[in-house]
Structure 1
Amino acid sequence: MRESNTSNLWRKLTGSTCFAALIATGALTPTAYAQEAEEAFGGLEEIVITASKREQTLQEAGMAVTAIGAQDLERMGATGFASFAVRVPNLGFGNESDGRFNSNSPAIRGVFGDNTTGFYIDDTPMPASIQPRVIDVARVEVLRGPQGSLYGARSMGGTIRLITQQPEYNEAYGSAHGTLSTVKEGTMNWSVDSSINIPVIDDKLALRLTAYAGGNSGVYDREYIPEWTNAQTGEVVENTGPAFDTHENVDSETFGGFQVVAKAEIAENVTFTPKFMYQKINADGLPFADISPDNFTEKRFFDTDEPGSDRWWLASGTINWDLDSGTVTSTTSYFDRYLNETEEEATFLHNLFNNVIGIPLDPLEAPLDESEAYTSLVHETRYTSALDGPLQFTAGVFYQRTKNHLQYPPALQVGLNNAIDAATGPGVAADCVNGFCLTTPDLIFVTDNFFNTKEYAVFGEVTYDITERVSITAGGRYFKTETDAVIDSDGFANSGKTHADGNTSESGFNPKIMVQANVSDDVDVYASASKGYRIGGVNGNVPEDLCGDELDVLAGPSDAEHDTFRAANRTYDSDSLWSYEAGVKTTLADNRVSLNASAYFIKWSDIIQQNRLGCGFQYKNNAGQAEVKGFEIEMMAAPIDGLTMTFALGYAHAEITDAGGTPGVTVGDKIQGVPNWTVAASSEYIFPVSNDLEGLLRADFNHYGRSFSSNNGDQRERPAWTALNLRAGVIKEEWEITLFVDNVTNTHANMADSRSIAAETPGRQRIVTNRPRTIGLDVRTRF
């Protein structure tokens, strides 16, 4: 790949300066140690979380929680989900849907699949696929294990919460932040953001404003394929499409957004907090590697752009009413998202005709578009007690209505009818006898999908202190869900026009029980059993002509058996699991060390399995059972003032125990997307350089063990991978200037398989991977 002179110069400057800074600050370390020894040691800071919907310290919470505060997020250079996810034990990566923007599917403790991990911004549940920038965030909380009682559906594996900064009444202050970097295989990246807190009326009204913008260089190049091989004759054929020069950095992107939050005291002890958040990403192409994660060249017949955009906004209002006996919190929010993406499908269609159907045609350009409009209305009101005595409780009601309009506009491969007729005879393309239902000329695929879901719930938890040191918590959530769908499709890939509709309705109860004991002032132990669930849904069409061979295997060889199979799989029910967990939380060495550990066992029933077929379509069904067992260890230490170290270790053994009759799935298969080991460690040292200047050294390391993914019925091993980030800088009064190197070893990780918007071309899987080595400068000021 060619790089600009500016990029090369910047890389040399930042690389040399960062290396010099590391040496210089390292040389000052002995002096710093001597100075620090004279000062009093402060120990670890207390971390307050709201995972149980009431304030408590991290060490008090009777659950496995990873909490990352605002300063730690800033110092590690966190920008999005992947930045902090590597810090969390037993948190895996996955891609369950089409394309890029709608496919992120994190898995906690081996519970993999779409909608298994809850994602919240403050009190609002959001699609786990969104990728909000980590800007003006107070902390991130990752709750491991099912959260069925307090958080409901989509939290059967755990919940990720982004807690945003709130306005303050009596102080005006703000911050500004910028980065400039260069990425190997690409050119320049940049970002700027700023936040400001504005008191409007003392003790009555305050505003908090945040805005950000930036751009990331692409790293993939598109290269022309000049010829192809006729699968019938072995003849090498020249590509008749227009030749093009290598198109560099085709996956560049820009992003921007803002947040506006107000806090107003509208009555004595009553506050109202309205909030509006907006974000948009524009991408030039899909950031996926072909075949292997270290391949940065996309070989194509045509220079077909694959742009996309993702725009969403969230409006919410929260009322907090503080009473002598507790707090009433009521939140109503509305979320609106629109995304669209394009992928070239000429390569897939050419392979289909040449190698499967047996009609070698010259490549014809064929872009495929996908768009999705998603809205969600959510309301939750809860009461959290603050009673005198041994009894405390939380009780609330919840409602969510989501509407999802998934659309593939008419995808045309111009000239296909004529090409087929020229190769096989006039009228064959449209006769619907030979597998070609091109009754609408050149139409490959079009579909309109409407999904509506409603969820109602009543939930609560009660904690009773049996003694001063032993408590028991019991709770649960009664829920009712309704889902209906209408799906209309047409085109060659759909075997002509089809209509499908269906609805599901379910209700149930998810219980939880926990016993917790304060063995001493520094040691807590707990044991819990809890249930989690995930909402069912409705499937689309699996076309006869294109998927007939696979339907023969799934259902039987006759058309009647195919119809029976499709009718039986029109809908699928919710799945559920029981999780059993025991843990210990300790504070050691005069508050210099915290050491937490947990072990768990999960029994998962009626698993909703995504069955991806080689014909490019897929369906979901309830099949089989699985077990997951493992453990986690998390440690934080501050051996001397200024030095903070963290370590996290996770292990998950997740496998199928009952295949449930699903073809291609056998007992003992590993659950997809689940690394067997996760390891993360960080070390940050801040030391005095002069009277008004401090130095900063930081390293972040992570390791993911091997895992498996599946596409087109083929289970694939994803190798283990390791990454290292380094940062060195100086802090002076309100300024921080840091040089950083992300992905120091330039690791190319296979993080997931992309299903592709069209269908995976055999032998050319598209792989989700991390960014190559990035070197840059980070500047932050507070005022």
Structure 2
Amino acid sequence: MAVFYSSARLRAQKQIENPKRILTMKKPLRHSSNRTPLALACAAALVSGSALAQEFTGLEEVIVTASKRTETLQEIGMSVTAISEREIENMGIDSYLDFAVRIPNLATAFQADGRFDANSPALRGVFGSGDKSSAATTGFYIDDVPITSALQPRVLDLQRIEVLRGPQGSLYGARSMGGTIRLITQQPSLDETYGSFHTTASSVADGDQNYAADGSLNIPLIQDKLGLRVAGYYGSISGVYDRVYDPTWTNYQTGEEVTGTTPAFDDNENVDDEKYWGGQVFMKWMVTEDLSITPKFMYQKIEADGLPFADVDPENMETPRFFDSEEPGEDEWWIASVVVNWSLDAGDITSTTAYYERDTEEFEEEHTFLDFIYGAAVGVPITPIESVLSTTSEYENVSHETRFTSSFDGRWNFTAGIFYADNQFVRGYPPAFQPGANQALNDAIGAPADIVPDDLIFITNQPEDVEELAIFGEVTFDVTDRLSLTAGGRWYDTTVDFESISDGFANGGPSEFSGSQSESGFNPKVMAAFDVTDDLNVYASAGKGFRIGGVNGQLSPTLCGDELDAVGLNPDDLRTYDSDELWSYEAGIKSKLANNRVSLNAAVFFIDWQDSLQVQRLACGFQVDANIGDVESTGFEVEMSAAPIEGLTIQLGFGYTETEVADAAGDGFPGYLKGDELHGIPDWTGTGSVEYVFPAFDSWDARLRADGNYYGESTSFNNGTVVDREAWEAINLRAGLMNETWDLTLFVDNAADERANLADNRSIAAEMPGRPRIVTNRPRTVGLEARYRF
């Protein structure tokens, strides 16, 4: 989709940004909603841009590189949402969730442990776990570098965001069976010095102040030969949850509420405070007119004081606890990459080599779950004893891709390449003790039962090494000037080596196992595209997606054995899971209407998913990835952009997804019986924006904008119970003044202060039945931001 830019506005934007930079923007989020109340004043508010307009030229083309070649959004044969740099700024997007809830048919859930490894994006109902890279269903890229889908980088110094729906198995590989999200960064300019500085301050309901600052600078070190671009940022986000003293504990054998003896503590406010900082250094060296080398380094770190989860209800801002235990967390990652591009008469050779490393650590006090286990499962209730559990994850990924993209003058063109990656992932739980637990249990029984030897609750170390080799390509043949056919695919060979060493009460004692999985195969893709007119294109495609198998680790037979026996499952059989695959069929239209004042794009799809891999949360508090059977997903997306008059732009979009277990595995996995829907997938998603830019005074323009999103009903499956999640909607308002140098904006995010259940998170410790930990959106936030360009 495209957005309105007058020719005068474009000239001003080029001066503000960089006349040498390609303006690949012009499209923010497609948006709007469906049947809901959101039709939303959403489509009613106003905002964006910078005007300075005189000549009304309607909608601008949107340039994307989703197919690894430069194309306009209207001619690419797939459903793609592209958000430009200007729209990223105008919408106030600076994090993953800011844009994810505004993409039709993009579901956002947090299915794994904790806050940093839980993000599990899903496109068109193709849902997977976020904590293990091999279990992801949505590819996540920064430029051409694959990263873990659980990562939530700050959305800064970007040229655009691209969201590709449908399996990208031919060009992007194993983890893109549902689609791919790409963050495209700004490139260094070789001939102009320019930069910007941006700062924001705001206040959040139920919390305190937020503030952030970021900036970028581009310097041509050697004119037309060597350019340098640097960017950095720092921010502080106020927490909104308060830890309060709960003087009672539950005897889970009798159901009695017992008054404890732990000393009371004062309310600990905003326990989920967070600070973050990072930056990047980017160089581009034109060795010759045709050969460039572009090294880049990116870094980010987050320090959090506590877990940002609500207890039981998303509107509950208090977390009652028996102990005032600190529950901090850290997430640190960096990427070093080198891109070599050689332009030939016949096309471009592009080679990308990258190293990606990420480390996380999180803490949580777990006595609540242990009290439940001692009382309800073991039958020996004891007075609560403090126990802090921690978890760590370590990622190291080396990747390399070399491809050739042709630019022939004839009817044939193709892209072909080779890809290699070695991804090492280690999930660890350092020794977690509950000092005095074993003695307390012995005293309660009146005998040395030794239920918790050495007071060790849990320890595990689980390294996993995934190695991938792939050869990929796509060939396009122009049958006529209007009809083109594309065929391609990806041959892959994968190996997964794994090991798991665990011990402790929650593990049922010591366990150890190791193994290896290997697979090879081919993912084909075919597409036909037809230009009905110069302004109306239609296409149809079929493609295969694939995901690598992996390892869960040990499930405690002590805690989970009876539950699994009831449904005919063996804990040992769930230590690993097999790969899964799907076929996706899509048809769509791309159109420009009303003399290029309106663009309307739509797509319908059907997905046949074999041996679908899903996260299964058991009533014993543990979770596993398991192949639950065959799943079907059907739905559509519609996206519209309009520039009815000069200065006014309207964006609307909505999507619908229906999933169903068509054939359950075995006797049916708990929570996934035949006819059930997949959990975590909203039925309807909608988004919309209205923006109006008009002259204010002197050289200043005024901007009014409103953005809205709708996220439909969905379900989750926790502790053996299906939980319904209600639909929710939010509206963001922005008003400001701007000229060629300054951009000043007053904003209100989540203006109606909607408190939504985004996902039922298991946090870090195993979840106690009846106390889900809920991931919520941010409460109403009011603030002011300023941007200065030079």
| TM-score, reference length from structure 1 | 0.92
1:86 to 101, 109, 120: 101
- The whole-number CA distance in structure 1 between the counterparts of 2:583 and 2:156 is 35
Give the superposition deviation at 1:234. Answer: 5.8
- The whole-number CA distance in structure 1 between the counterparts of 2:215 and 2:92 is 15
Give the superposition deviation at 1:235. Answer: 5.2
1:49 aligns with 2:55: no
Alignment correspondent of 2:649 = 644
Matched residue count:
737
- Secondary structure of the equivalent of 1:295? coil
- Secondary structure of the equivalent of 1:666? coil
- The whole-number CA distance in structure 2 between the counterparts of 1:673 and 1:609 is 10
Alignment correspondent of 1:536 = 549
1:733 to 740, 746, 752: 740
Given that 2:247 and 2:322 are in contact with CA atoms closer than 8 Å, whether structure 1 keeps it comes out as yes
1:463 aligns with 2:468: no
* Over 4 Å off, 4+ runs: 26-29, 231-236
1:486 aligns with 2:486: no
1:101 aligns with 2:116: yes
Alignment correspondent of 2:581 = 576
Alignment correspondent of 1:777 = 784
195-204 vs 662-671, which deviates more? Answer: 662-671
- The whole-number CA distance in structure 1 between the counterparts of 2:416 and 2:614 is 33
Given that 1:502 and 1:571 are in contact with CA atoms closer than 8 Å, whether structure 2 keeps it comes out as no
Q: 1:231 to 1:378 in 2, by over 3 A?
A: closer
- Equivalences for residues 622-771 of structure 1 within 5 A: 622-661=627-666, 662-664=668-670, 665-771=672-778
Given that 2:158 and 2:185 are in contact with CA atoms closer than 8 Å, whether structure 1 keeps it comes out as yes
- Equivalences for residues 83-482 of structure 1 within 5 A: 83-114=98-129, 115-232=136-253, 236-428=257-449, 430=450, 436=451, 438-439=452-453, 441-482=454-495
Alignment correspondent of 2:33 = none
Given that 1:396 and 1:459 are in contact with CA atoms closer than 8 Å, whether structure 2 keeps it comes out as yes
Given that 2:45 and 2:690 are in contact with CA atoms closer than 8 Å, whether structure 1 keeps it comes out as no
Give the superposition deviation at 1:243. Answer: 1.2
2:626 to 612, 618, 621: 621
- The whole-number CA distance in structure 1 between the counterparts of 2:289 and 2:742 is 39
Give the superposition deviation at 1:555. Answer: 3.0
CA offsets per residue over residues 520-577 of structure 1, 9 Å max, x none?
Answer: 1101100000000111012311122122211321337xxxxxxxx3444343221011
Give the superposition deviation at 1:241. Answer: 1.7
- Equivalences for residues 530-569 of structure 1 within 5 A: 530-555=543-568, 565-569=570-574
Q: 1:218 to 1:456 in 2, by over 3 A?
A: same
329-338 vs 665-674, which deviates more? Answer: 665-674
Q: 1:201 to 1:94 in 2, by over 3 A?
A: same
Letter in 2 for 1:744: A
Give the superposition deviation at 1:762. Answer: 1.4
- The whole-number CA distance in structure 2 between the counterparts of 1:373 and 1:331 is 23
- Secondary structure of the equivalent of 2:277? strand
Letter in 2 for 1:397: I
- Secondary structure of the equivalent of 1:52? coil
- The whole-number CA distance in structure 2 between the counterparts of 1:589 and 1:28 is 22
Given that 1:645 and 1:682 are in contact with CA atoms closer than 8 Å, whether structure 2 keeps it comes out as yes
- Secondary structure of the equivalent of 1:464? strand
Letter in 2 for 1:246: D
Letter in 1 for 2:78: M
Q: What value does the CA root-mean-square deviation take over the aligned residues?
A: 1.7
Q: 1:422 to 1:322 in 2, by over 3 A?
A: same
Structure 2: gaps of 5 or more residues: 1-43, 130-135
- The whole-number CA distance in structure 1 between the counterparts of 2:185 and 2:473 is 25
Letter in 2 for 1:136: D
- The whole-number CA distance in structure 1 between the counterparts of 2:519 and 2:240 is 46
1:607 aligns with 2:612: yes
2:78 to 63, 69, 72: 63
Structure 1: gaps of 5 or more residues: 1-25, 431-435, 557-564
- The whole-number CA distance in structure 2 between the counterparts of 1:202 and 1:282 is 40
- The whole-number CA distance in structure 1 between the counterparts of 2:292 and 2:597 is 38
231-240 vs 442-451, which deviates more? Answer: 231-240
Letter in 2 for 1:322: S
- Secondary structure of the equivalent of 1:93? strand
Q: 1:327 to 1:232 in 2, by over 3 A?
A: closer
- The whole-number CA distance in structure 1 between the counterparts of 2:143 and 2:649 is 28
Give the superposition deviation at 1:288. Answer: 0.5
- The whole-number CA distance in structure 1 between the counterparts of 2:432 and 2:71 is 54
- The whole-number CA distance in structure 2 between the counterparts of 1:736 and 1:690 is 14
Give the superposition deviation at 1:622. Answer: 2.3
CA offsets per residue over residues 638-695 of structure 1, 9 Å max, x none?
Answer: 1112111100010111111111123322111111111110110001111001231110
Q: Which has the higher contact order (CA 8 A, sep 6+)?
A: 2
- Secondary structure of the equivalent of 2:757? coil
CA offsets per residue over residues 4-36 of structure 1, 9 Å max, x none?
Answer: xxxxxxxxxxxxxxxxxxxxxx9999xx99x97
- The whole-number CA distance in structure 1 between the counterparts of 2:117 and 2:253 is 39
Q: 1:229 to 1:95 in 2, by over 3 A?
A: closer
Letter in 2 for 1:256: W
Give the superposition deviation at 1:231. Answer: 4.2
- Secondary structure of the equivalent of 1:702? strand
Give the superposition deviation at 1:505. Answer: 0.4
Letter in 2 for 1:629: T
Q: 1:198 to 1:548 in 2, by over 3 A?
A: same
- The whole-number CA distance in structure 2 between the counterparts of 1:27 and 1:258 is 34
| TM-score, reference length from structure 2 | 0.91
- Secondary structure of the equivalent of 1:606? strand
- The whole-number CA distance in structure 1 between the counterparts of 2:349 and 2:55 is 42
- The whole-number CA distance in structure 2 between the counterparts of 1:547 and 1:234 is 22
- The whole-number CA distance in structure 2 between the counterparts of 1:240 and 1:490 is 31
- The whole-number CA distance in structure 2 between the counterparts of 1:296 and 1:374 is 33
